[in-house]
Amino acid sequence: MKVAVASDHGGFRLKGEIIALFQESGIGYTDFGTHSEIPVDYPELALMVAEAVREGVYDRGVLCCGTGIGMAIAANKVPGIRAALCHDTFSARAAREHNNTNILTMGQRVIGPGLAREIVKVWLQAEFQGGRHARRVDGITSVEKKYIRGSR
């Protein structure tokens, strides 16, 4: 598995914890930035990761900012991306099993490093269950395509 990871300044330390987890676990990753706590704008970082995941260069993505909210909103603007903000392991598992999410977002100002590591582990290990959930994810994709075509 290859994971694209990025953060803004508000999630920089949390991203460091996630990268340490990847290194300890032998998970391939690329750090798209930022590389310090100097303020940056999160939308461009979210876009880089989302496009890399959409294009299939990476299997999944992890984005961190202060709350995780902005990163999720920005990433979800890219067609084919299903980013979920998760601050507990139950939601992380459900996001993969039921919603087939391909990007996880978290907030450094919301959760600590230990919980963040557990969330990432659960999210990476969970698999999409398909079945009735596939029909629902297909429904999301249909809505997305409708708006991409400009029919609304």
Q: Which of 9, 87, 98, 133 is flagged as catalytic?
A: 98
The three state secondary structure string of 111-122 is: CCHHHHHHHHHH
Burial degree of 132 (CB within 10 A; 0-12, 13-18, 19+): exposed
Question: How crowded is residue 32: how many other Cβ atoms within 10 Å of its Cβ?
Answer: 21
Query: Is-catalytic flag, 65?
Result: yes
Catalytic residue among 9, 35, 64, 65: 65
Active site residue 98: yes
CA-wise closest residue to 3 among 13, 11, 21, 14: 21
How far apart are the C-alpha atoms of 110 and 139, rounded to whole Å?
A: 31
Residues known to be catalytic: 65, 98
